[in-house]
Every structure is written in C-alpha cells, then in structure tokens.
Structure 1
Amino acid sequence: MLDRFITPIIKPLLAPVVLLLDKKNVQPDQLTLVGFGFGILAVPLLALELWYGALFCIALNRIIDGLDGALARHQNHTSDAGGYLDICLDFLFYAAIVLGFALANPNENALAAAVLLTVFIGTGSSFLAFAIPAQKLNLPRPQFANKSFYFLNGLTEGTETIAFFVAFCLWPAYFPQLAYSFALLAAITIFTRIHGGYQTLKHQGVNKANNEKAKSESTFEEPTR
C-alpha cells in the first residue's frame, strides 16, 4: 500500500550509489546475489537472538534490492532473467526471516511463524499467478512501470513487510502478536488480490470474446451495393 509513495522518495537517494557502482563495473545480478547473501546471514543471527545484527543484515538486503534494479535500468541491462532472479530471492528472503524467529524461540514463535509463512504463500501465489495472464494481456501498470513482474497492489507490500520485520527485531518478545497482526493484514491482501485479479481477468476475457465475435460477424457480412 505504501510502496507507491516510498518508491519516488528512495529513487533519488540511490542515484549517486548507482553511478559509483556503474563506474566499478558492478553488474545488477551480482548485486542481487550479494543482497540475498546478506539477507540469509540474518537467519543464524536471529536464531542466536542477535537482533540488531540481524536487523542490520535485513536493512542491507533491502537497500541492495533497491540498487540492483536501479543499476540495471541505468546500464540498460534490464532483463526477464534478472527480474526472475530478483523476485525468487526476495520471496526466499522473506520466508527465511520468519524461519529465523521460529528458530530463536520455537516454543513461543513456531506457531505464529507457521501462520505467517502460510499467508506469505498466499500473497506470493496471488501476486505471481496474476502476473502471468497480466503480462500476456499487456495490462497497464503505471505505478510500477519499471518492475519486471506485474505488481497487483495490496494492503501489505514490500514497505509494510519490512516495517514488520524491523518491529520483529526491535521487540522480539512480541513476535507472536506482531506476526498474527501482520498475517491478518496480509490475509486481507490475499482476498483483495484474488478478487481484484479475478474480476480484472474476467472483464478482459469478456472483452476479448466480444471483440472476436464482432470481428467474426464483420468477416461474414455481405458487402453493400
């Protein structure tokens, strides 16, 4: 929900770093892999209850995640392969952070982590499943024009997810309560995405059928004299 407002603010801040990385001949996919490495490093830190170290790794992951796409666009190296790698590693990172809190305190956190991971599957699948027909139908996406995958807006997006991750690290004793709250909000996102995506695709299907019918009728129409 907040991504559309945060993204325009962050982009100018990344520009000087992007120029520096370009001068050093850093490739976007290299950045993606490095960022994922930092993100996964947070998991053992969480398991050891080193909350601030884990938070630092999470922050680095998110900063680098913003840089790799910006660098790709600056170098005119945007590609489906790069977008695919980025989104796959993002979802793995999100799931791994939740796992880290479950490892830190299985007795208190495991059930809440399982619920949150289940909801993550719902948000991820509703997002990716819509991306396939949306790309095929070439549906407009003005708010995320530079994304490799189609973004269907929801109540909980990247900004909200990271905000909760920060809260998890700052107040780890309240992880179950925070996780359940986040799961509820994400469940609303799942419902709105499925409903909105279904209605959008259904409308597109009806329009396509009507257009094909009109085209067929015009083909067999007798010429006027």
Structure 2
Amino acid sequence: MLDKWALKCLSKPSQWSARQLAKTPLSANQVTLFGFGCGLGAAILVAFNQYQGALALLLINRLCDGLDGALARVKGSTSAGAYLDICCDFIFYSAMVVGFAFSAPEQNALISCVLILSFMTTGSTFLAFAILAEKHQLTKLHYPNKGFYYLGGITEGTETIAFLVLCCLFPDAFYLLAAIFASLCFITGLIRLYSGYLTLKPLANIGD
C-alpha cells in the first residue's frame, strides 16, 4: 500500500548512491547477496534474543535491497538479478518469522505458523500473477522500475519492513503484532486473488 510512496521518496537518494557504487567493481548481485547474508544474520540474532543487533542487520539488509536494483539500472539490469532479488526477499521475510518463533517458542511458535501461512498467501498470489502478466505482456503501470508486473495490496514490502522493525523494537508484543499483520496479509492475498483473476479472465490463452 505504501510502496509506491516509499519508492518515490527513496528514488533520488538510491540513484545517487548507485552512481557512486557503480564506480566500484561491485555488482548488483553481490549487493543482493551481501544484504541477504545480513538478513539471515538478523534472523539468527532474533532467535537468540539479540534484538538490537538484529535490527541493525535488518536495516542494512533493506539498504542493500534498495541499492541493488538502483545499481542494476545503472550497470544493466538482468532477469537473473531480479529473480535473485525476489527470492532472497521472500526467504529473508520467512527467516525473520522463524527467528521470532525460536526466540520464545511457547508464546510465538503458533502465531508464527499462521504468519508464514499468510506470507504464502500474499506471496503465491503475487508471484503467480507476475508469471501470467509476463506471459500476456501486461504493462507495469504503477511500479515501472520493478523486474516484473507488481500487483499491490495492503501489505507490501514497506509494511512488512515496518512490521519487522516494530517486532525488533517491541519483541514482547510479537504475538499481537503478528496476529494483526497476518490478518492484513490474508486480506491482501484475497484482494490479489480476486483482482488478479478479474484481470486475467478476459485474456486469451497464449502458448497453451
């Protein structure tokens, strides 16, 4: 819901940073993988109740996630890079939830299962539509810098990061925060399922 606004606000700083990084030998994929490593480190720290360190690595992960795409647009974007980026993001999100489940299993394990199910709901409707939108050559109207057709919703990347930051700042409230966010994810999944179906329904089969 907030991704379009957040991307607009961060566009100029990320472009400037990408131009500076472009002067180095670093590739966009290397930035992606470094950020992914930081994200997994954040999940591990959460599991050991080291929330301040986890928050620091989480923010580095998100910084890298913003820079890798901008750097790719400077040096030349690839489908492989877009694929790597989205895979790392989805694994990172789920790893953070698993970290919270390990941090307090008696309190967090059950709601973590529900939360990951809600992530699967948003993720599957998101990616399935992206595949078919590419097949039918649908235009990326709202997110032109994305590597694929971006189907929005209530809980997008910006909201997910805000949720994870709040969980690191207030770990004792994880159950309540996760319950609220999972509910919003399920609503987002239903919205994407319905709107995606209506968008694709009138289109003729291509290549079937």
TM-score > 0.5, shorter chain as reference: yes
* Corresponding letter in the other structure for 1:114: C
Q: Which amino acid aligns with 1:137?
A: H
State the Cα deviation string for residues 192-217 of structure 1 (Å, max 9, x = none): 00000001000223xx79xxxxxxxx
Partner of 1:107: 106
Distance 2:160 2:86 in 1: 15
Letter paired with 1:150: Y
The superposition leaves residues 154-176 of structure 1 with CA deviations (integer Å, 9 ceiling, x where unpaired) of: 11000000010011011100101
- Matched with 1:223 is none
Who is 2:40 aligned against?
40
Residue 87 of structure 1 deviates from its aligned partner by 0.5
Counterpart residue type for residue 61 of structure 1: N
Paired residue secondary structure (1:78): coil
Could you say what secondary structure the match of 1:204 adopts? coil
Please, which moves more after superposition, 103-112 or 132-141? 132-141
**Can you give the 5+ residue segments of structure 2 that lack an aligned partner in the other structure?**
none
- Give the TM-score of the pair, scaled to structure 1: 0.89
Between the aligned partners of 1:126 and 1:27, the Cα distance in structure 2 is: 30
CA distance in 2, matches of 1:108, 1:136: 44
Work out the CA distance in 1 between the residues paired with 2:57 and 2:93: 13
| Per-residue deviation, 1:149 | 2.0
Which whole-Å CA distance do the structure 1 matches of 2:149 and 2:19 have between them?
27
Are 2:141 and 1:142 equivalent residues in the alignment?
yes
Shift of 1:83: 0.5
The letter of the residue matching 2:15 is: A
Is 1:27 paired with 2:27?
yes
1:152 and 1:19 mapped to 2: Cα distance?
A: 29
Whole-angstrom distance in 2 between the partners of 1:81 and 1:34: 16
Q: Does the residue aligned with 2:142 lie in a helix, a strand or coil?
A: helix
What is the CA–CA distance in structure 2 between the aligned matches of 1:161 and 1:99, rounded to whole Å? 15
State the one-letter code of the partner of 2:197: Y
Offset, 1:13? 1.2
Aligned to 2:173: 174
| Cα offset, 1:20, TM superposition | 1.8
Q: How much identity, in percent, do the aligned residues show? A: 47
Partner of residue 2, structure 2: 2
* Aligned-residue offset at 1:48: 1.4
How far apart are the structure 1 equivalents of 2:142 and 2:77? Answer: 18
Between the aligned partners of 1:151 and 1:141, the Cα distance in structure 2 is 7
Structure 1 residue 144: Cα displacement: 1.1
1:126 aligns with 125
RMSD over aligned CA atoms reads 1.2
Distance in 2 (CA, whole Å) between partners of 1:94 and 1:150 is 20
Note the alpha carbon deviations across 1:107-145, whole angstroms, 9 max, x for none: 000011110001111111101111111001111212211
Aligned to 2:5, the other structure's residue is in SS state helix
How far residue 16 of structure 1 moved from its aligned partner, in angstroms, is 2.8
| Number of matched pairs | 206
* Residues in 2 aligned to 1:82 and 1:146: alpha-carbon distance in whole angstroms: 13
| TM-score, normalization by structure 2 | 0.96
